[in-house]
Amino acid sequence: MRLAGYASPLQAHPTPTGVGQHIQGMFRALQQRDDVLFSLVTPRGKHEEAQKIIASHPQSRVLPLPWPDRWLRVATTWTSLVNLDRWLDEADWVYAPVEQPVTTGRQLAVTVHDLYPFEPAILGIPTKEHAGLSWRRRMKRLLDRADLILVVSDFTKSRMLALLDVKNPARIVVLGNGGSEGFSPRPQPADEVVLRRFRLEESRYVLFPASLTQRKGGDLLLEVARSAHRQQAGLRFAVIGRRHDAELLDALKRLKDLVPELPVDLLGYVTKEELVALYRHAKAALFPSRYEGFGIPVVESLASGCPILITPQPALLEVAGGQAVVVESDATSVLTRLTADLPRPTTVDNGDPRTWAACADRLIQAMQ
């Protein structure tokens, strides 16, 4: 099969999150397949970024386009002025691993990660973040153009059918997400260096694998940390990421002005090797998201043998497969669970391998 991949922005960041992980994971898994001739379509000036993703396989190649990224994104997604076919050689399919209904006469597969912009108001999340005209136009074009609509969970599929006018539901295929590769519960000698770097002690910290945002439950994390300090629970809270809500950063600063010893550490972005070690030696991970289409941190945590506390959000329950600790969005109940003995998970028994190679298998099967 001849397959051309396109995503804008490409997100070749060395420590991608969420959608960026999906883009890199799927492109790399596809280009490793012997039954796929994979090309990565890139805008002007992004050739080196593309090579970072697909340089490891001789059959894969980069197809550079003559326009800059932002212009190309607008022209191919919102208009029919620029058709990608001119640069695709003999590609059978165009594959966009993010919501971009590009203009092409080839068969088109597009991934939808969640329907968050179309959901009714969600408790704790500002309504201004919900869908405006641009998102509605984007999804209409996607539904009109795509031969195959890929979603990352059964939950996302159900919300798509409930919220959008899908003419042919058979086009919707649950692809899933990877994320388990490289994560293991087996300690490594370098782990100690990572813990020292971040000044964390074995089993004395809770990992928050997301930025401080309302959607991810960052406000609850701050409440839990303050309660932990009051009760002298002896736990620190290590926050991964940098795309924090400004109001939550302000709230954290005010809390630290009142309580200088507040046990919250903002680690910023970390490498995958650091993240693996942080999961492996944490007391638990806390991921109280209010809305997810999937929830890659659940996969990472369970693959690392790290207990993870989640809210009863449908996609998180689906991905966890009964292996997570379910809590309500209440600081007292969360802290009670965190200070109790938490058995480490041994398997993810959900009948669905969480690797990018398995996701690539499902994609190729759906295209045939």
Q: What percent of the chain has pLDDT above 90?
A: 65
Residue 192, amino acid: E
Whether the predicted model's global pTM rises above the 0.75 cut:
yes
Residue 39 phi, psi dihedral angles, 5° rounding: -125, 140
Q: What pLDDT is attached to residue 56?
A: 61
Is pLDDT at 342 greater than 70 in this prediction?
yes
What is the DSSP track for 288-301?
--S--SS-HHHHHH
Q: What pLDDT is attached to residue 352?
A: 46
Q: pLDDT grade, residue 81 (50/70/90)?
A: confident
Q: pLDDT grade, residue 120 (50/70/90)?
A: confident
Q: What percent of the chain has pLDDT above 70?
A: 93
Residue-wise pLDDT tens digits, 83-105: 999 888 789 999 999 999 999 99
Question: CATH says 2-176+354-367 is which class?
Answer: alpha beta
CATH code given to domain 191-338: 3.40.50.2000
- Residue ranges of the chain assigned to CATH 3.40.50.2000: 2-176+354-367, 191-338
Q: What pLDDT is attached to residue 79?
A: 86
Q: What pLDDT is attached to residue 265?
A: 95
The maximal CA–CA distance of the chain, rounded, in angstroms, is: 65
Residue 208 phi, psi dihedral angles, 5° rounding: -110, 95
Q: Of 179 and 311, which is predicted with more confidence?
A: 311
* Cβ neighbourhood burial of 339 (10 Å; 0-12, 13-18, 19+): middle
Over 70-136, what HEC string results? HHHHHHHHHCCCCCHHHHCCCCCEEEECCCCCCCCCCEEEEEECCCHHHCCCCCCCCHHHCCCHHHH
Closest alpha carbon to 214 in 306, 133, 116:
116
